Amino acid sequence: MLIYSFLNANYQIAVISDNFVIHTTDGKFPVTQSFIEELNQRIDQLQMGTGVYLDARADIYVVPDAKSYALLTGGKGRIVEFSSAFYSSLDHRIYIRSPEQIYSNYNGIIMHEYTHWFLDEILRKAPLWFHEGMATQQGNQLGLDRYYYYIRERFWGNKMDLIKLAENYPQQPADWDLYYITSYYAVQYMKNKNPESWKNFWEIVADNYRIGKITIFSDAFYNAYHKDLWQFNEDFSVESKRQAYVYIFTGLGTFILILMPIILIFAHFKQRKKMKALPDLEYPDDSSEDEDDNLY
């Protein structure tokens, strides 16, 4: 709390929008108006997609330099210390490095952390995989390379157990990427496998919010999907393994089709080489055949 008090004493409001307030140390935020508008649009889409419309604004604190960020994140775990931004559930604030410390997707990083804040305002005891899956989805932070990485890992039997990691991040940094990707696809499975249940889930959350009630995640999940989180974990594990086999073999077939012209050309030249290696045949002399005909 002493760190927060020290930082808060130096912060000023730089931007006030419908959905968030940005605080900086000098009261300035070096981004364009279109940046602010795009971020507001993305937040509006999140709220429309869930049917939950918040009256509150998220507080976003832009940390001016790497030293201040290290001071702020010290002791919070390596995944936070090495991050570009984080949401603090203790004081319900988003902290992000200044734009010059982040080279790309600054808007998406804020959106990722806003999603954590949004879920924390309306849900209690939501598993960490749901938080990170929703945040990664809203932040648009999943590239094609990470998708293929996920498929490869699942094909070889590597997976993350959603139950064991419902409250804590993996200890090893090497496992962080797979955890985020698995969380993303768990939310996608929850959404796409049964769209009606997904809709029912958010209707329960929205109805509770309108009467001033925070929704317990497991209760809403069970009422919407008619299964508990343990069974969901089992179903997701089976489905993701099956999808891994489908995509691997589909990709293998596509790869073979791409190679087919090369294979045919190679076979053609190999056949020509074999034909050239055959010995020349001696053909019979036509004049000798004429002499034989004169004998009759």
Flag whether pLDDT at 130 surpasses 80: yes
DSSP codes of every residue in 168-210: S--SSGGGHHHHHHHHHHHHHHHHHS-HHHHHHHHHHHHHHHH
Name residue 95's beta-bridge partners.
Answer: 61, 86
The pair of structure tokens assigned to 266 is 């190679």
Flag whether pLDDT at 10 surpasses 80: yes
Highest mean pLDDT (candidates 27-41, 62-76, 208-222, 232-246): 208-222
pLDDT (0 to 100) of residue 255 = 44
* Distance in angstroms (rounded) separating the CA atoms of residues 68 and 72: 6
Residue 81 buriedness (CB in 10 A; 0-12 / 13-18 / 19+): middle
Query: In angstroms, what is the C-alpha Rg of the chain?
Result: 31
225 contacts 194 by C-beta, under 8 angstroms: yes
Name residue 97's beta-bridge partners.
Answer: 63
What average pLDDT score do residues 201-225 get? 97
**Parallel/antiparallel/unpaired status of strands 215-216 and 20-24:** unpaired
DSSP codes of every residue in 118-162: HHHHHEES--HHHHHHHHHHHTT---HHHHHHHHHHHHTT----T
pLDDT in tens, 147-205: 676 767 666 666 767 887 788 888 888 788 888 888 998 999 999 999 999 999 999 99
pLDDT in tens, 230-275: 999 999 888 877 765 655 555 444 445 455 566 556 555 666 665 5
What average pLDDT score do residues 127-136 get? 95
Q: How confident is the model at residue 277 (pLDDT cuts 50, 70, 90)?
A: low
pLDDT (0 to 100) of residue 258 = 55
CA quadruple 156, 160, 161, 164: dihedral positive or negative?
positive
